[in-house]
Chains A and B, each alone.
Chain A
């Protein structure tokens, strides 16, 4: 069965600084990988996804993520954060033969932005 680890429970970043959120997955074959964002009191919104092809994927709101098979990682990055990026970020993995039906989420990383 697949699993996801987000090693950082909480990260604090200054506005305008760069950001990297870590995600490691465990899955025997090529996974489908996702990053979702949850703003306070809201549901989750998809930031980006990786299915195949180019290992650097671009998402909404200026985010990108890089799939590194050798490290079983799919880290999320943003070159310059904005106060509105403060939220909870979830990495998720799905078995490629099931897709959404077997989506497994990590426990999330809470991002705080300081002025």
Chain B
């Protein structure tokens, strides 16, 4: 059983479209995250949710809207996609903010044409 699973794994779309990436974790963790990894492999936090509540929003454009229907799921919706949104998006979870270990999904590679 995959601990943190993301779908889809690959997304290719045109500029201006809207897309969603789904994430589910079966670890029973309270905290979930979205990270963006750019073409230079730089990994930066976008959002953090603790028990369905938004904890961190790291100056991400409001075209990006996370939604957490329950603590096992954290989805990412992106409106009006731009070329610069092309990246690999990683979902992660942890037992809590002080545990020091994130469990990552395999990533969703988004390509905007």
Q: What interface size band does chain B fall in?
A: 20 to 34
With A32-B100, A51-B100 given, can you name 17 additional A-B contacts, CB distance below 8 Å? Answer: A36-B102, A42-B106, A42-B107, A43-B90, A43-B104, A44-B90, A44-B104, A45-B104, A98-B97, A99-B98, A99-B100, A100-B33, A100-B96, A100-B99, A101-B48, A101-B97, A105-B43
User: A108 and B41 in contact (CB under 8 A), knowing A43-B106, A100-B94, A101-B48?
Assistant: yes
Given the complex, which residues of B lie within 8 Å of A74, measured CB to CB? none
Q: Are B100 and A49 neighbours in the complex by a CB distance under 8 Å?
A: yes
Q: What interface size band does chain A fall in?
A: 20 to 34
A residues 65-83 near B (Cβ < 8 Å) are none
Given the complex, which residues of A lie within 8 Å of B92, measured CB to CB? 43-44
Closest CB in chain B relative to A79 CB, distance in Å:
24
Closest CB in chain B relative to A105 CB, distance in Å:
4
Closest CB in chain A relative to B40 CB, distance in Å:
7
Given the complex, which residues of B lie within 8 Å of A100, measured CB to CB? 31, 33, 48, 94, 96-102
Q: Are A103 and B98 neighbours in the complex by a CB distance under 8 Å?
A: no
What total of A-B pairs shows CB separation below 8 Å?
64
Binding site for A on B (CB under 8 A): 4, 31, 33, 40-45, 48, 55-56, 90, 92, 94, 96-107
Given the complex, which residues of A lie within 8 Å of B56, measured CB to CB? 101-102
Closest CB in chain A relative to B68 CB, distance in Å:
15
Complex Cα gap A107–B41 (Å): 6
Complex Cα gap A98–B48 (Å): 12
Q: Are A41 and B106 neighbours in the complex by a CB distance under 8 Å?
A: yes
Q: Are A88 and B41 neighbours in the complex by a CB distance under 8 Å?
A: yes
Given the complex, which residues of B lie within 8 Å of A98, measured CB to CB? 97
One of A49, A101, A107 near B101 (C-beta < 8 A) = A49
